[in-house]
A and B are shown apart, each in its own frame.
Chain A
Amino acid sequence: MTVLLAIVVGGLYASGLFLMLRRSIVKLAFGLVLLGHGTNLLILTAAGVVRGRPPLIPKGEGAFHAPPADPVAQALILTAIVISFAVVAFAVVLLHRVHRTMGSDDIDSLESTRP
């Protein structure tokens, strides 16, 4: 499971970076989204994947049985997802404005108007 997740994380990072290196602003946004998802999955994987063992102490007992799932990693990812929603929402609005102002989604068209 961990190996599979690691491969998925690597794939997400690679495709995110690939998209960001293209010249299109829209692909830049998609690259950022993929990179964000890759990072979230990486936190989950790095903290240790545990299946079907919630971090709850069974009724009438004083301690955990087996190592439970790590709630902190999930809390971190939850926060990161909320933040990345806000950032992506801003990025999409910005792209829209840039597209309206420039009339193109090519990043190089930004450079051509520099003094």
Chain B
Amino acid sequence: MKVLLVLPVLVPLTTAALSLLSFRRAARQRALGLIGSVLQLAVGVALLRAVHRGGIQSTQLGGWPAPYGITFVVDLFSALMVLLSGVIAVATSLYSLSDIDRERREHGFYPLMHALLMGTNGVFVTGDLFNLYVWFEVTLIASFVLLVLGNERPQMQGAIKYVAMNLISSALFLTGLGVLYGSVHALNMADLSLKLPSLAPPIRFTLAMIFLVAFGIKAAVFPLFFWLPDSYHTPPVTVTALFAGLLTKVGVYALVRSFTLLFVSDGEATHALLLGIAAFTMAVGVLGAVSHREVRRILAFHSVSQVGYMVMGLGLFTLSSLSGAIFFVLHHAIIKSNLFLISGIMRSGGKDARLDLQGGLLARSPGLSACFLVTALSLAGMPPLSGFWAKLILVRSGLDVGSRGAAAVVATSLAVGLVTLISMTKIWNEAFWKPAPAGADLAPRESGARRSALLYLPVVLLTALGVTLGMAPEPLLAVVRRAAAQLADPTDYVRAVLGEGRP
């Protein structure tokens, strides 16, 4: 058994357990949380190196051979996602040091956060569809509690929708699993990818649609996204940044995995449907963003819109579009977490992040303004920032496909990019540029230079990371291209899981 493959789950589990043991000692919990996150980042780096050098790695838990036992398998896409979750974990842990109040800390914020990370990492490394369900549930339960932790009234309102929608999604996922197991008697994803092509097309298509809806709810695609904007603006900023960075990505990851490995035989129909969904998700999300006037709501609607781009990459289903989708996932997680973290600092200047109550941030904190400007432009896809490269790859691969549907999606994505820019300009104009409104409560929420330095540090780090991705995308692009090649041709994946004897 290769220990490295189990570490992405083991490290957060240990961190969560140790923080539970030091439940009443805040200082120790904070230190543990930070150390755990850094270790997780290190594991991500090590995993990416191992997979980059040695190809797809797999391990069988308990030593049972592949289709019978539980498989952990890491290809480049998974490794990149684990690395990403490490980056987000470190950034949010740093931010949480001063953002999370005492009450939340005492009610187990840190154990929950690491339970959530354990769940997402489990999703990324598992090679078994039922285990995917189990990790989804681990993630879900942790996210439920994080969402309502603190017991504030608006949190309850968002939580009911979030809980109900996600439980429906889980029930659907399990239904799909039941039908799938009943028809091919396999749950291992590599095994399934061999057995599914021989299944009767109507059943296979039905299964594909069930999984599309189940994962689509988690990824927040049109028309299943409405739980997201209603729940993302209520919990503390740290939690929102963690959710925006990782939770929807988990849904996107599951979509990409299932529609590159399992349901590729009916490519025409399913991927055309995915393209349509992508176009509507982009458009509706960005229109929602334009119509709102509260920073975190705008950002939440943008999240929906950006998921559309990722699904677009999956729907086009060419080598370059898949690499575009992967690059977009990485870019978006970093940028969007950063924007949420910035919105938290903005809000600490007043009670609410409603735009008409904001103002004058450019004069008061030029550093924050610079970070916001760079990140916002990157979200909108301005060259030479990371969003530009992500969109460029997607648009070019859409044009290369050359069909009428692809052209329509490309046109939508370009228009949506423009509207994204307009709505980010709105935040810029209102919160940063215009003078502060009279009578606004602009006193900082927390005083003390050390505390605010702790808020700024992750923002600066993430901004720097985003800018680096934009200025020097080539090393990452090379890795992403190889990851996409592994997705497009699952032969290596299947061989890594089932052993040399199988095709």
Contacts and interface: CB of A to CB of B under 8 A. Distances in A.
A46 B179 contact: yes
B181 A87 contact: no
B141 A76 contact: no
Contact of A87 (B133, B156, B160, B167): B167
A19 to B, nearest CB: 12
Interface residues of B, number: 34
A8 interface: no
Interface string A75-115: 01001100100110011001001100110000100110111
Given A35-B168, A86-B141, A42 B148 contact: no
Interface string B262-305: 00000000000000000000000000000000100000000000
Interface string A41-71: 0110111100000000000000000000010
Interface string A18-33: 0010000100100010
Contacts of B179: 42, 46
Name the residue among B151, B159, B175, B294 with the largest chain A CB count within 10 angstroms.
Answer: B175
Interface string B120-163: 00000000001001100100110011001001011011011001
A101 B151 CA distance: 9
B422 to A, nearest CB: 22
Interface in B161-199: 163-164, 167-168, 170-171, 174-175, 177-179, 181-183, 185, 187
A72 B141 CA distance: 25
Contact of A102 (B156, B177, B181): B156
A14 interface: no
Contact of B164 (A20, A46, A48, A115): A20
A98 B391 CA distance: 42
B137 A83 contact: yes
B145 A90 contact: yes
A27 to B, nearest CB: 11
A15 interface: no
Nearest to A89: B141
B141 A90 contact: yes
Contacts of A39: 171, 174-175, 178
B183 A46 contact: yes
Contacts of A38: 171
B148 A97 contact: yes
A97 B156 CA distance: 8
Contacts of A98: 156, 159-160
A102 B141 CA distance: 23
B171 A113 contact: no
Chain B contact surface mostly:
helix
Contacts of A114: 157
B144 A90 contact: yes
B397 to A, nearest CB: 38
Given A46-B178, A94-B163, A87 B151 contact: no
Contacts of A25: 160
Contacts of A36: 171
Contact of B181 (A43, A86, A110): A43
Given A32-B167, A46-B183, A110 B177 contact: no
A113 B159 CA distance: 14
A35 B171 contact: yes
A47 B181 contact: yes
Contacts of A101: 151, 153, 156
A14 to B, nearest CB: 13
A76 B157 CA distance: 33
Contact of A47 (B153, B154, B157, B182): B182
A111 B154 CA distance: 10
Contacts of A90: 141, 144-145, 163
Name the residue among B159, B175, B178 with the largest chain A CB count within 10 angstroms.
Answer: B178
A28 B110 CA distance: 30
A91 B181 contact: no
Contact of A110 (B160, B174, B183): B160
Contacts of A46: 178-179, 181-183
A83 B171 contact: no
Contacts of A47: 178, 181-182, 185
In the A-B complex, the 3 residue pairs with the smallest Cβ-Cβ separation, listed nearest first, are A46-B182, A43-B178, A39-B174
25 contacts: A35-B171, A36-B171, A39-B178, A43-B177, A46-B181, A47-B182, A72-B181, A72-B185, A76-B130, A80-B174, A83-B137, A86-B141, A87-B137, A87-B140, A87-B167, A94-B160, A98-B159, A101-B151, A102-B153, A102-B156, A110-B157, A111-B157, A113-B154, A113-B157, A115-B354
Interface of B: 130, 133-134, 137, 140-141, 144-145, 148, 151, 153-154, 156-157, 159-160, 163-164, 167-168, 170-171, 174-175, 177-179, 181-183, 185, 187, 294, 354
Given A76-B177, A94-B160, A98-B156, 12 more contacts: A42-B179, A46-B182, A76-B130, A76-B181, A79-B134, A87-B170, A94-B148, A94-B163, A97-B148, A102-B153, A113-B154, A113-B157
